[in-house]
Amino acid sequence: MKVIALDAHDIRFPTSRQLDGSDAMNPDPDYSAAYAVLRTDDGAEGHGFTFTIGRGTEVCVAAIEAYAPLVVGLDIDLSDLGGFARRLIHDSQLRWLGPEKGAVHMAAAAIINAAFDLAGRVAGKPVWRLLADMTPEQIVDLADWRYLTDALRPEEAVDLLTAARPGRDEREAALLATGFPAYTTTPGWLGYTDDKLVALAREAVADGFTQIKLKVGGDLADDVRRLELARQTVGPDIRIAIDANQRWDVRQAIEWVEALKPFDPYWIEEPTSPDDILGHAAVRRSVAPVRVATGEHVANRVIFKQLLQADAIDVLQIDACRVAGVPENVAILLLAAKYGVPVCPHAGGVGLCEVVQHLSMFDYLAVSGSTENRVIEYVDHLHEHFTDPVRVRDGHYLAPTAPGMSAQMKAESLLEYAYPDGAAWRS
């Protein structure tokens, strides 16, 4: 199968008009995607994207286009998508712009995930099953092991995957029956009024969620008031995670979390820079038993490796399309399993729920083998733009069954929200 085109689209939704997604660092995001379509000579397509928040989406689009010479014309071997990914990531001239971080890495994520979407469609399987049906050796070969072997060697990873095989069929049956646990951030945006927070928190509990999340870090008095309100609303048994979106220095993070401890926060997410491994470790030592979570802005597996080596996190939050797509996330899932840290993906934005659920379901079936203390973030925004939108029931993601990675946006949405010429932006 030959790739005959790599299309790149700049898609933006004007979410800032309602303050959906507003947090202490990102007051007015317009949820966006640099969206890639791999087209092949037999008519099959793969769709993928990287998530952005408005300005700069065009930079990721330019980065997707920069990879086109490596992709267009290629006879793509769908049984060696690890090799396909490494072909992009190891291009020395493009690698210079990272390495393995920023716009080029995010663009690679869009293209590599599109290749997995394509492989799922060709195999007639959702990507969670495509991955879970691979042998341990095939799974291990997806990852780029460069820079990982001081923490985990490929042979160890094969052993780990082999040890996880018993019970797989029972887990798949449970997944298909019940789905994968979710939590919701819908109540928690900083731009929402107290009344809206209370109403949405109450609704979340009624909908079966056992964990919600609140944004914090703008103003301490506001955070105390909002967290107290939320705790009163949901009672003592619902977990409330808090999320500072990188707002603090280390000392400030420790003091702020201390002030919120009376309301029993379950985890503090992104207390400081996502690059600050030692800072996260210092925060974790000080704020226990509040857990430390991070990952949505972690650039690559090398930073995740160190967060685990340094005992810096209690909860590892993968993002489907900031690191270089499925293969790098497979490496990260393997690292997390080795270190015994649960993976709770970042989602929300646009399309992140759709894509990342495949990775958690694969993790459950083939890697960690558990859903204990594992939840996928859920936000009820923009799902209507996808051809295979997530289905969340009673606080769980139901397993997608359509072939592919659920990444495809509807053709009419691609037209309407095209930036700057779509109808949504022309007005």
Alpha-carbon radius of gyration of the chain: 20
Site for a second copy in 333-392 (CB under 8 A): none
Phi, psi angle pair for 213, to nearest 5°:
-135, 140
Per the rule left: phi > 0, alpha: psi between -120 and 50, beta: everything else, 413 is alpha
Our CB check for a second copy shows the closer of 29 and 48 to be: 29
Per the rule left: phi > 0, alpha: psi between -120 and 50, beta: everything else, 277 is alpha
Asked if 306 touches a second copy (CB under 8 A), the answer is: yes
Asked if 276 touches a second copy (CB under 8 A), the answer is: yes
CA-based nearest residue to 312, from 352, 351, 350, 272: 272
CB atoms within 10 A of CB 114: 30
346 a catalytic residue: yes
47 a catalytic residue: no
Nearest distance from residue 280's CB to a second copy, in Å? 11
CB atoms within 10 A of CB 141: 19
Nearest distance from residue 61's CB to a second copy, in Å? 8
Asked if 282 touches a second copy (CB under 8 A), the answer is: yes
Stretch that binds a second copy, among 24-32, 123-131, 133-141, 180-188 (CB under 8 A): 24-32
Please state, in angstroms and rounded to a whole number, the distance separating the CA atoms of residues 317 and 301: 12
Please state, in angstroms and rounded to a whole number, the distance separating the CA atoms of residues 202 and 196: 10
Provide the mask over 133-152, with x wherever binding to a second copy is found by CB under 8 A and - wherever it is not: -------------xxxxx--
Q: Which pairing describes strands 180-188 and 211-215: parallel, antiparallel, or unpaired?
A: parallel
Asked if 273 touches a second copy (CB under 8 A), the answer is: yes
Stretch that binds a second copy, among 156-164, 165-173, 272-280, 333-341 (CB under 8 A): 272-280
Asked if 54 touches a second copy (CB under 8 A), the answer is: yes
Q: What is the dihedral of CA 249, 254, 256, 260, to 10 degrees?
A: 150
Our CB check for a second copy shows the closer of 12 and 239 to be: 12
Our CB check for a second copy shows the closer of 94 and 122 to be: 94
Provide the mask over 210-249, with x wherever binding to a second copy is found by CB under 8 A and - wherever it is not: ------------------------------------x--x
- Please give the size of the binding site for a second copy, defined by CB under 8 A: 61
Q: Which residue's structure tokens are 């049906």?
A: 133
Indicate the length of the chain as a whole number. 427
The one among 18, 27, 137, 169 contacting a second copy by CB under 8 A: 27
Nearest distance from residue 102's CB to a second copy, in Å? 1
Phi, psi angle pair for 241, to nearest 5°:
-90, 150
Q: Which pairing describes strands 396-397 and 180-188: parallel, antiparallel, or unpaired?
A: antiparallel
Coil, helix or strand at residue 336: helix
Concatenating the DSSP letter of every residue in 219-230 gives: -HHHHHHHHHHH
The one among 96, 170, 236, 372 contacting a second copy by CB under 8 A: 96
CA-based nearest residue to 326, from 77, 48, 59, 121: 48
Of 213, 346, 383, 385, the catalytic one is 346
Provide the mask over 283-302, with x wherever binding to a second copy is found by CB under 8 A and - wherever it is not: --------------x-xx-x
Asked if 97 touches a second copy (CB under 8 A), the answer is: yes
Of 213, 215, 280, 385, the catalytic one is 215
Q: Could you list the active site residues?
A: 215, 346
Positions that interact with a second copy (CB under 8 A) = 25-30, 52-56, 58-60, 62-63, 66, 69, 91-106, 146-150, 246, 249-251, 272-279, 282, 297, 299-300, 302-303, 305-306, 309-310
